[in-house]
Structure formats: structure tokens, C-alpha cells
Structure 1
Amino acid sequence: MSTLQVTAERLVVVPHPNADRLELAQVGLYRAVVAKGRYTTGDFAVYIPEQSVLPDALIDELGLTGKLAGSLHNRVKAVRLRGEISQGIVCTPSALDGVDLAVAANERTDFAESLGIVKWVPPVPVSMSGQVESAPDLLPWVDVENIKRFPDIFSAGEPVVATEKIHGTACLLTYVREGDRILVSSKGVGGRSLSLTAADGNLYWRAIRAHGLDGAARKLAVALDADRVGFFGEVYGAGVQDLHYGASAAHDTSLGFGLFDVAVDAGGQPVRWLGHHEITSLLDDLGLTLPRVPVLYEGAYDAELLMELAEGTETVSGAGTNIREGLVVRPAVERQSPILGGRAIGKIVSAAYLLRDGGTEYE
């Protein structure tokens, strides 16, 4: 999931092809449906992204009572309006009357707190929870921002690798060489610098042990003379999320896992993320075979091509049993992004995934 930011944005307004009274306000590469004539290109307005939870007063002001997602009808979700997908809400809340939105856009002011908007946190099933303990040595998850919101993360033609985005639950493993410790967590729990106490029935520990990730992390730490090694991946299967890819959480032997990131802390240097090919070489050299997320594309960055590639059916199962959630894009050689203020990495989520019925989003 990406971070929650409610910001002012300069709009590009284009016609709605199927509605005389509606238009599309574009923010980055997102498009949100707005009333015709409400905005013109060059105007500044507030953009409220998907997965935002709005207070009742703001919902009422925007005329959205009973129209949002969730049991309380207060969560922003992608919808299709007259044939066009609308992602997020473009508005000018009265609470910001007098605020120069052009200046706010330039300064990247976040209005989430002042508007009472919070990020939706999905409930966690018992199998994905458990006893927790403090884990200050845990290597944390990095939120992956949507390329549609930040279209300039990558430059046209830059060498990139795009891997399939698996709809599972994020699993974090950190091997700490001092004391020979294994820390295991979920994204939500790990975000609070907590790890899950080892337990036979815990989904994350089951996945770690079933796929030999603990032993692999130990070997990698020794080979790189690292103080800490972090593995980041997705645990998936029936019983985890609504998309299962032919796997199942019922038994350890059928529980799916896909590794997509490795981080290394060595020699007192900043934590380093390994590139896709570097991970491949290291695993091959050590004779380690770990399940990894499928590579969908390697080559020059082409936003339009990757948008198309995010759609379709998944390749995880080899049988196309589910829709494709999307893809994750990173540079062929790891680098920092001045736009994100951190690691250069982005995601593209498919329209089919966003608009599906009965979806689950456990962390």
C-alpha cells in the first residue's frame, strides 16, 4: 500500500466520452469524474486518494452520503462512472477557504489531518495475527507509491524491471546476525517496529519455515558479511486473500510465497536494496532456490506499455486462474528518487483489480 497524502494539485480537465454533464479531472495519471464546468485546466483543487476514510461532515458537504465504500460508506474506492474509471475525489472543501491551493501544491502541503481524513486499515484475521514483541532491529517495509500519482518517478527509456504484483499479505523477515535471531512480521505489525512471536499456527512463520527463508537469510548474511538481511515478499493462497493463484493456506506444502525484495545492512553503511539481477546472482552462487515474483518486463521504461501490461490475467499460477493485480516497477540498477525522497520504486494497479466485487485487503 502507498502512503496517504491529501494534497492540492494542478488539474488537467478532459471531456468525459460518455456523459454530457461530466468531465474527467486528471491528477498525475489518475482521472476522477467531476461535474462539467466545475473546473478548468490549470485550476488547483484538493485530491483525496483511494483508501481514504472521510469524516461524516465532509462526506455530507461533498454530496457523497451513502455513495462511498465500506460498511459505514465512508471509504474512497475506485468506481466506474458511465464507462470511465474514477480514482479518488477532486474537490475544494470549505474548510480550506482562503488557502492558496497553488502555493499549497508547490509546497506539497498534506491536508489529511486538517480535513479529518485517515488511511483505511483493513481488519486482520486471527491466522495473520498473534503475540507480538518489540523488534527495533526489524528492517521495515517500504511503501510503494502508485506511478499514476507520481508519473515522473522514472524517465522514458530508463532501464527497468517490472514484476507481477501478487495479492497476498506482506511478509517481512529480518535475520540479525548478532545473536542469530530471526524476526518475522506483517506489514502492519512491522510498521510499529514489532515482530510476531514464533508460533506453529501463524501464517507468516509457516511460510518462512515452509520455504526455507530463515536458512537462506542466514547464508546470505554470511556471504555478504552483513549485520542484517531482510527478505520481503507476499504470502498467498486460498484463505489469505480473495485472489489465490491456485495455492492454499490450508497446508504448509500448498502455501504460496513470492520473494520480491532483499535489503542488506552491512559495514555501518545505509541499508542497501539489492537489484533484481543482483538477487538472482547471489541466490545462484549460494545454491539457493527461493520462490520469487514473476518478471513481466525488462527493458526501457515506457509508461503506456506498462499500463497495458498491468491488466490481464496473472502468471503466478501458470494457469491464469485470477485477474492480474498489477505490477511493481523498479530501476534495473537501484537508485534514489528525488521525487519520492527515497527509493525509486512504483506500482501500477489494474482496473479489474480495483473494480472487483468482494475483494479482501488484509495486511
Structure 2
Amino acid sequence: MRKLASIQVIKKIEAIEGADRIEKATVLGWHVVVKKGLYKEGDLVVYLEIDSVLPKDLAERAGFTDKYLKTRRFKGIYSQGMCLPISELPDWLQKKGVTEGQDVSTELGITKYETDIRNDEQWWKKHRNKEVPNKWYMKFRIGRWLWKKFIYKPVSGPFPTNLVPKTDETRVQVLQDILDKYEGFTCQFTEKLDGSSITFWLDKKGKLHVCSRNREIFDKEDFMFKTASKLADKLIKTNIYQGEILGPNIQGNKYGLKDYEIRIYQCYVPEEKRYFTPHELSYNCWKDGLKQAPVLGEFKLTNNIDELVDMAIGMSVLDTRGKDTQREGIVIRPVVYVDGLHDKRFVGGRLSFKVINPKFLVKYNL
């Protein structure tokens, strides 16, 4: 689970060439531009990650005017996040005391900004299920039963986490301990695509199920359901496919697609409670005629976060994209299945993480 606001230590302070009023602080694996002289190495601070939405009073005290925290570039330095003094914490929490790594998102009222509207619960509330009609027969138990049995058609329902974990990847900047442990492992890296998360599968009876990141979709006219239904005859029953749906009106359609398409990035086997390895996924997508998220190559994992960020910088390799379309980043997974990492940073306990391209974030004002 992502800690949007947490207690962290300033690991390093570095001067920025040509800058008199600002300097670069390193927190975890993030670089943050801060006011010169405000902090020193070893200081405890409140660190806010990018995508954080600040409550109005805290934003005013911090002099923050944007809707949410974005990646910015100052004097050639990418700044990601914000450092605040411990004094911004509620008095009761300061008196109680805090420790490095402690999550204080709730105490500060920090929430996450969703760039994909289908991940936002407010969107689903606006597109909620059909309201109960104000009809005479609804006064009777048999009338309500008949309405629910034969007329009621819900648009969506909860995501079935009892079958498959939701799609999510942790950013590399908070995984220094993992990089140290698995340094030298052979890993595959794929392009992270900027679309909308989709999960879909055929159950044992051959019924198609389709989900966004947070909801199961029952409306067969929904564009996600209709797109997934075109692939139904290629799916292995009970295997659960997860990917990115791209196309018109999705994240600005950066890839220039004229119609919707799904790029699969993982497949979950519920009976075995495991994911396909990268090579298994590539083989099965090729065999079954399914499109996979672009595979960029394999390498020996380094424990240097800055080197991995440099790897993430580059153009998308999708054929339909424009010449200046930066890729969102990369997703890294060992070619040999590694699981058992049940520390809330890894979905399903599997070793897998993302590295976001800072040029992409700056270009698209994210």
C-alpha cells in the first residue's frame, strides 16, 4: 500500500549548479528540490509523494497552489514530492512521537489524485446502479423480489479480490532494500503503458467477467466489456488476464489508436495462486493471438535507483504513437518467479515493480 505522507530521513543534501536559493534533497530514492538551508542531512521530515492532494489549510501553509503534487524540473533537476517540517504534524502526534517510515497520510488528511477517472470511486457513484423505482409494487416484499429478480440490472459491483489481487505496482524509489537483496537477478523489463487498467476472464461455465481497477463491470455495453468480449474465444478458462486498455478518450489517447485495444501485462492462475512468469506470458500471448505489453529486454538487476530511472526514460515503442510520445516508464520482473514478499508493497506477494519516466511526467504535467 502506498504511503502518500510518511516520516522519512533526509539522506543527502546537494547543491544545484547555478541555484542560490534551492538545493537537492534525497529522501528514500526520491530527489526533492527544497529551500536552501531549511534542512540538513539526517533530519526527520514529513515527505509527501507525488499525486498527493493536500487539504486546503495545509496547502496554504506550505504555499502550495496546484491541485495535487506533480513532478517538476528546476535547473535540470527533477523534483518529485514535497518535504515538510515535523511541526506540520498535529500537536498530539508530535507529543506522542514519530518514527522513520511511519505513515501519516490520515493524520494530515492527504488523499490520492486519480488521473484515470475509472479508478475514482466518485465516478462510479455518478454512474451508480439503477435507483429503486417509486412504484406501488415496491411496497410489497414479493414486488421487491420480482423487481430485483427480473428487472434490476446493476451496472457494476465490487472488485472480486477473493479471486485475484487488484493491479498495482510499487514505485522503485521506496524499494532500496529489495534492490539490495535481489541485485544481480536476471529480470525482464516491459513498457508501462498509459491507459486504463482492465481485468478479464472466462469462468468454468464460459461466462465472461470484466473489471476496471476497482469495480467489476456488468454492463455489456460498456466499452471495456465490449473490447474484452472480442477476445473471449482466445482466453484459457479460469485464467485471469490483466492488462491496459488503450484507445480513444483514454488518457488523451497518447498512442494515436483509432479503436480500443488491450495489451496484456500479466496472467493470474487462481488454482495455483500464482502469476505466469514473463516467459510463460510471452509464449501464451503469442500462442493464443493476444497482444502483450511491449517487451523491451532483459538485464541484471542493479541496486542503483538513479540508473533504473535512466532506463525508464525513452520513447514508446508502439507503432501507432507519435514521434515525440514518451513512454510512461517500465515494469521490472525477474524471469524466475519470486514470491513470498508479503509486506504490502507487492501485490500478491510477487516481486514486481515500476519505474516511471520523469520526462513523461513533466511533459504531461503529472
TM-score range, shorter chain: 0.7 to 0.9
Does residue 1:187 correspond to 2:213, yes or no? Answer: yes
Does residue 1:37 correspond to 2:37, yes or no? Answer: yes
Contact 1:293 1:316 in 2 (8 A): no
Does residue 1:147 correspond to 2:172, yes or no? Answer: yes
Amino acid in the other structure paired with 1:255: Y
Contact 2:4 2:111 in 1 (8 A): no
Return the match for 1:331 from 322, 331, 334.
Answer: 334
Counterpart in the other structure of 1:88:
81
Q: Which moved more, 1:271-280 or 1:109-118?
A: 271-280
Query: Secondary structure at 1:187's aligned position in 2?
Result: coil
How far apart, in 1, do the equivalents of 2:336 and 2:320 lie?
A: 28
Query: Secondary structure at 1:99's aligned position in 2?
Result: helix
- TM norm structure 2: 0.79
1:320, distance to aligned residue in structure 2 (A) = 5.2
Contact 1:18 1:83 in 2 (8 A): no
Counterpart in the other structure of 2:117:
124
1:350, distance to aligned residue in structure 2 (A) = 1.0
Q: Tell me which protein shows more helix as a share of its residues.
A: 2
Contact 2:159 2:211 in 1 (8 A): no
Counterpart in the other structure of 1:61:
61
Query: Secondary structure at 1:20's aligned position in 2?
Result: coil
Counterpart in the other structure of 1:192:
none
User: Residues 295 and 306 of structure 1: is their aligned pair in 2 closer, same or farther, counting only changes over 3 Å?
Assistant: farther
Contact 2:51 2:112 in 1 (8 A): yes
1:346, distance to aligned residue in structure 2 (A) = 1.1
Counterpart in the other structure of 1:168:
195
User: Where do 1:1-363 residues align within 5 Å?
Assistant: 3-11=2-10, 12-64=12-64, 66=65, 68=66, 70=67, 75-92=68-85, 93-96=87-90, 99=94, 104-105=99-100, 108-122=101-115, 124=117, 131-134=155-158, 136=160, 138-154=163-179, 155-177=182-204, 179-189=205-215, 195-200=216-221, 202-210=222-230, 212=231, 214-217=232-235, 219=236, 221=237, 228-248=238-258, 254-266=259-271, 269=272, 271-283=273-285, 287-302=287-302, 303=304, 304-317=306-319, 321=323, 322-336=325-339, 337=341, 340=345, 342-357=349-364
Contact 2:244 2:263 in 1 (8 A): yes
Contact 1:174 1:230 in 2 (8 A): yes
Unaligned runs of 5+ in 2: 129-154
Contact 1:45 1:101 in 2 (8 A): no
User: Residues 288 and 101 of structure 1: is their aligned pair in 2 closer, same or farther, counting only changes over 3 Å?
Assistant: farther
How far apart, in 1, do the equivalents of 2:47 and 2:32 lie?
A: 9
Rg bigger for which structure?
Answer: 2
- TM norm structure 1: 0.80
Contact 1:162 1:328 in 2 (8 A): yes
How far apart, in 1, do the equivalents of 2:96 and 2:20 lie?
A: 28
Alignment deviations for residues 112-163 of structure 1 (CA, whole Å, 9 cap, x no partner): 0011111113463799x78113554552323211102323333321111110
Contact 2:256 2:320 in 1 (8 A): no
Unaligned runs of 5+ in 1: 190-194, 222-227, 249-253
1:278, distance to aligned residue in structure 2 (A) = 1.6
Contact 2:71 2:365 in 1 (8 A): no
How far apart, in 1, do the equivalents of 2:112 and 2:291 lie?
A: 31
Contact 1:95 1:115 in 2 (8 A): yes
User: Residues 279 and 53 of structure 1: is their aligned pair in 2 closer, same or farther, counting only changes over 3 Å?
Assistant: same
1:317, distance to aligned residue in structure 2 (A) = 1.9
Amino acid in the other structure paired with 2:192: K
1:345, distance to aligned residue in structure 2 (A) = 1.3
Contact 1:162 1:327 in 2 (8 A): yes
RMSD of aligned Cα (Å): 2.8
How far apart, in 1, do the equivalents of 2:337 and 2:39 lie?
A: 39
Amino acid in the other structure paired with 1:99: Q
User: Residues 238 and 173 of structure 1: is their aligned pair in 2 closer, same or farther, counting only changes over 3 Å?
Assistant: same
How far apart, in 2, do the equivalents of 1:165 and 1:262 lie?
A: 16
Query: Secondary structure at 1:153's aligned position in 2?
Result: helix
* Count of residue correspondences: 322
How far apart, in 2, do the equivalents of 1:124 and 1:237 lie?
A: 15
Amino acid in the other structure paired with 2:248: A
